[in-house]
Each structure stands twice: as structure tokens, then as C-alpha cells.
Amino acid sequence: MSRHGKPQQRQPLILPDAAPMGGGDGGRGDAATRRRRFVAFLAISVALVASYHHLAPAPASRYHALFLSLGNNDTAAAHLRALTLRPHVAGTEANAVAAEYVRAALSSFSFPTRVTPYSVLLSYPIHRSLSLSVPGRAAAFNFALVQETYPGDPYSEAAAEVIPTYFAYSASGSVAAEVVYANYGNTKDYEYLASRGVDVAGKVALVRYGNLHCEDMVRNARAAGAAAAIVYTDAKDFGGAGAKGKRKWFPDARWLPPTGVQVGSLFRGVGDPTTPMWASSEGCERVSVEEAMDTDDMPGIPALPVSARDAAEIHAALGGDAAPADWQGREGSPVYRLGPGPAILNLTYTGNDTMATIENVFAVIEGAEEPDRYVILGNHRDAWTFGASDPNSGTAAMIELAQRLSVLQKQGWRPRRTIIFCSWDAEEYGLTGSTEWVEENREMLSSRAVAYLNVDVSVVGPVQDPDNSSQTVYDSWVKSNISPLIGRLGHGGSDFSAFVQHVGIPSTSMGFGEGKGPGYPIYHSLYDDFVWMEKFGDPGFSRHAAVLSLQHDERHFRITAASIWGMMALRLADEEILPFNYMSYPVELEAYTKVVENEVRGTAISCSPLHNAIRTLKTAATKVNGERKELQRQLSSNQLKKDSMKIRSLNDRLMQAERAFTNREGLFKQEWFKHLVYGPSEQNDWESASYPGVENAIASARKENTTESWKFVQHEIHRVARAITQASVVLAGSLT
């Protein structure tokens, strides 16, 4: 999962009897929101909100039943072990080896495979140093900036290959300045510092991971005038509970060790920075590396990630007023102070921002009746370190899924529509591999892609006992302490972004666990290895290969990470009529419209265009839903042939309606993102915005507070209303 991270907001791909859905994704500032981002397998887009308590295959589909009966724990574990023997950052030899492993595995199932390379701008560290000077101390304290292995670590030798802790695309430079503590580094934190008279200009901002990803933290630090930034994992959030002095961490518990560091990318854009808005194909137009590094999407200041132990040294040397209670560390920690100083940090970073080759790996199962319709399954392969959870738990599940489909083929099954497996590269740098491929194939995908089903991290921890055979996946999910709401794929979290937000393809993103905070404390660190997964993420690999049980036709099947993913793919690939249902869309859009109304209360802005367009969409969705049911009845009674043009026409409308929510001009301030309903917040890439272009316009209007700026808000509302109306026209299937 990239910075981008994996956890939602989307659109309408909905299977019948949809599970309850919520509104926007909200922020990441509290535990409930973090859980909603990455809950038990379901983060869906568009019409793709499914009824997983009715996940069983149709009685006529013996192949679907066979699919569910296949798979075992040992297979998933073997693939994961092989994929995580070495750290494999994008652009390295080790990641090329991992690419070949995936290609060979898929090829062994007799699927046609291919590798598509791209030359893209990646970033690696050349030199890092950090020292702390405190008045009255004779010498500066030099930080080692090393994540420590532990006695008996089976990966200690391979750990020597891990790239030193750094932030990709950090500006190179040296800064020596006083430190200011800025909590989680959001705009409100800097506003608080200003209200207390704490000047950040020219200082080093010390911020901790929490409710923003690192690229937004560093961006906010730069906007506040900081000369550099230090980002750390606070023990309060990642170090576990327990009485002081009795806390345990990996390998004795799932928590991040004191020297653990969460690395990441500081690039706020998507794809190759040298080919903004177009594909990085051979012989293409490019901006120079210098031009690419000089955009607002890059951090512009030096920054380093550090451990909780290193940050504690810095906190101990800070003076100034005590920070507020909610800025403090865990119980028993020394008091956190705001600064500035008297501690002085001397930070030096030199990066190598260079063109490198990445490789996407593909395998194809060609459809029998509709080979020109694509059901696409994707997972990224590159990792900052070993990547046992992020992303190779998903890669292992994808290979297992493909293996099961190969068994079905040997039994005579062929999908109605084409299934494409995608192993993406360089997701961690900025969704690079998937973005370049989608940009290169945009028109083909726009006309042919049925849906995109993404798994980034398939398993990061338990939600409930997977061996409980008395209930379904959905039942277990609802009964767990995780929110039962399905989020929307509006954030910039993973490889679904190019599909849904750039092209308008219905998409899902799935995972099993609570998220990247307390549920996944070793995220992007040295300790995301096979041992952590085996001991804490998924003991016995029951959630990779046997998550929960599902009863159907008096038989019990083991539902796996691959099973849920695969059953969605099979339904989309095999059913005559696409299982999309747009009936919930108007309800969600009305909820989002109420959010906008609250934000513009007291102004002359009218949301009537949105309400009118949503009513039209509701009428169209009701009509097409009735049409779908009638055609299904005719199919069941043999009154209609499976290759009827009526079915093809209906499927085209169901598939294309999501595209109508996109606009070629893109979002205000975020032009690459074309979807006007679902997209990332301009203030926080990990947060979904309701009508993101409208949200951006409102934010600008509040700053400028001019007649023209508020007039532009009204214009953005009309743009969204027009898109909703266009979706209604597509669903209705008739010209105005």
C-alpha cells in the first residue's frame, strides 16, 4: 500500500441485496475512521457494493461451487514465503526476481502471460545524517537511523539489503535549526501553534504519524514555513499497551519495536512524475527530472522518518510550553513540549532521483462469449521492505485464486467475459505501475472494462475467529467491533485510483484486518516480514486460505481471501446480466449534498441543481433495475437467449454509467482525477471527499471570500449536477 494507502470512497457497482453503506469516508483522525478505511475485506466503489451474506454461487453454477471448495493454507503460505525472502523495492534486482516469480506461477497454470515495462522516475537515498545539539551539552548526539534486528531473526542477513530509512522524493539539502513539535502535522495543528505564538518558519517540524500520510505532513510543514521535517512513529499509537516497563513488541508481540521506522513516498501526484497526465511509453514526451522535482506535488524540503526511540531523544531536549493533553505521548512518557528549541537538529539528506525500469506482470483468461469485456484483478508487488502484509499477502491470494481458476478450466469452465490478472509495480512510489498502464490503455479500458477488483493488503490481522463455521463473512463483519459500513473509494489509497477516479470504472478494494494504525503497527517498516505474518498477522494462514465458512446446498466451503475476491470475479465474469445495482447511489448522493449544504449555509449558493439531478438518477436507476429483473425472469424461463442484444445493451449501460460521472477537465486543483463524485481530499490524500471539486472550491472561497470565488463554487455544483444527469441518461438508454 502506498502513501496512498491502503484504506475509501467510490461509486455504484452493487450486487443484489447490498449490505448497508455509509456516506463519505471522513478523515483519519480517529480509530473508527481508520477502521472503516480498511475493514474486513470490503472497500468498494461505485455500483460494486455486494451482498456478501449472499455470496454463494447460483445453484446452476457447479463451477462456482467447485471454486469455493478449493485452496489450502499451505499454498498461500508457500507463495508468501517465496515472495518475502528479500526486500524488494521497485526498480531493484530483487523486485525483478519477484516479478519473474509471479509471471512463472501464473504461466504454470497455462495462462498466457506478459510483462510490460515502463521507464519511470524513482527515488533512493545516497546519504542521510541527523544529529541533536543541546545547549550545555559538550557534544552533539548522532542518531544511528537504523532499524534493529533481534536475536534469532531468520531474516537478519536479508535485512542488510533493506534500503536505509528515507522518504522517496525528499528534497536534498542540509538544515540546522531549532525544533518545533507539531503533533500530527495537520493544518489545525499549525494553526494552534500560531495561536500560541510558536513560529515554525525556518525551524525543523517534528510530527508524528497518525491522521495524515507523510506527504501531506511534509507539505503542511513546508506551507507553515518549516525548513525541514522529521516524521516519527509515536509509541502511543504504534508501540502497544501495558504497564510501563512491561510492554512487548515484535518478535514477542505484534507491536512496532522502538527502533521501527515507517518509510514512504512524499510525492503527492500519481504515476511517473516525468509524464504527468500521459503514459510513460517508449519514446514518449517527458519533462526533465529537474522539472519533475520542482513541482508542487514534490515536498520541496528535506525530510526524514525516524523511530520512536529517536523521537524520544528529541522530545526530551525540547523546551517551551507544554503541549496540549491530546498532543502528549502515552502514559508514563515525559511531557511533550512545543519548542522552539533549545534543541537544534542538524539534518542532511542526499537523494538519487533517477529513471528506472519497473515491470507490470499480466495473465489473461479469455472470455468465451464476450472476450471484449474485461474483469480485471490487481495487486501490487513492490514493497519498501519484505512486504509480507503490504502487499504480498494480496499477491499470494491472487496466485492462489488463479490456481483455482486453472482447476476450473481443466474441468471445462470458461468465463463468459475475459479475466485479467495484474501484478503492479512501483505502487509505493505513487501508484506508478497501474497508473501508467491505465493511461496507456485508457480508451480501450473505457470501452471494455467491466470492473476492477483490487487487493492491496489482503491480511493484516484478525477481525474474528476464522474457524467459526456458524456464520458468514458478512455476519462476522457486522458482529465485530469494526464498523459495518462500506466505505467509498475516493481516497488516493491504492491501485484502484486510476481505474475509478481517472476513467470511471467500477472498482473494489479489499482487505482483512483493522487497518494500518494499531491493527497493523509494523506498516512500511523492517518488521513486515513472514515471521510477523505467521505469528501475529495470520497465524496458521487461516485468513489467507480459510477466512470464514459459508454454508450452501448443505455443504460447507472454506471462504478464503482468494475466495471472496474470486467469487466477485466469477459473478462479474460469468453472469449473463452484470450484477450492478445503482439504487443506492441516489441515497448516497443526497447525503453528500447535505454535507455541501451545511458548508455553504449563509451564502447565496444553491444546491437545487444537485437535488434535481439526483431525482432524475433515482428514476433512471429504478427503471433500469426493473428492466434487469424482467430480463432475468425471461432468461430463467428460457424466453430469452443468453446472447440476446437486449442483454448486451443493458450490460453496456450498466457498465458505462459510472464513466458518466467523470469529466475530461478533472477536479478543480486536481485535474488528473476525473470523477466528480468520488475523489481524494485536496487537504488529505488519505481522506475521501464528497464532491471533491466542490470541496476544493469551497476551501478556496473561504480563503479569498470574493464574489468570484463563491460564484465558482456554484459553477462546480453545476458541473457535478450535469455529470449526475449524464449518468441518468446512460442508464435510461435513450436520447433526450
Cell of 639: 424466453
- Judge whether 428 counts as a catalytic residue: no
Q: From CA 49, how far away is CA 10, in angstroms rounded?
A: 9
Residue 267 to residues 121, 217, 219, 457, 727: CA-CA distances in angstroms?
Answer: 11, 12, 10, 21, 33
Per DSSP, the residues of 310-355 read: HHHHHHHTB-SSBPPGGGS-STTPPPPB----B-EEEEEEEEEEEE
Compute the C-alpha angle 441/668/485, nearest 5°: 75
- How far, in Å, CA of 214 to CA of 484, rounded? 28
User: Which DSSP string corresponds to 216-251?
Assistant: HHHHHHHHTT-SEEEEE--HHHHS--SSTT----TT
Q: Which residues contact 527 (CB under 8 A, 6 or more apart)?
A: 147, 250, 256, 257, 260, 385
Kind plus residue range of the DSSP H or E element containing 374:
strand 370-380
**Amino acid identity at 80:** L
Residues forming beta bridges with residue 675, ordered by sequence position: 662
Would you state the cell numbers that stand for residue 15, as one nine-digit string? 450486487
AA identity, residue 506? P
Nearest residue to 268 (alpha-carbon basis) of 435, 489, 492, 437? 492
Cell, residue 384 = 519498501
β-strands 141-142, 113-133: how paired? antiparallel
User: In b/e form, how buried is each residue of 75-97, taking b as 16+ CB within 10 angstroms?
Assistant: bbbebbebbbbbbbbbbbebbbe
Task: Write b or e for each residue in 388-422: b if 16 or more Cβ atoms lie within 10 A of its Cβ, otherwise e.
Answer: bbbbbbbbbbbbbbbbbbbbbbeeebebbbbbbbb
SS (H, E, C) 664-700: CCCECCECCCCECCEEECCCCCCCEEECHHHHHHHHH
Cα distances (Å, whole numbers) of residue 485 to 9, 38, 478, 684, 696: 11, 11, 9, 21, 26
The catalytic residue among 427, 599, 687, 695 is 427
Only one residue has cell 494552534, namely: 192
User: 580 — alpha (psi -120 to 50), left (phi > 0) or beta?
Assistant: beta
Residues with a known catalytic role? 427
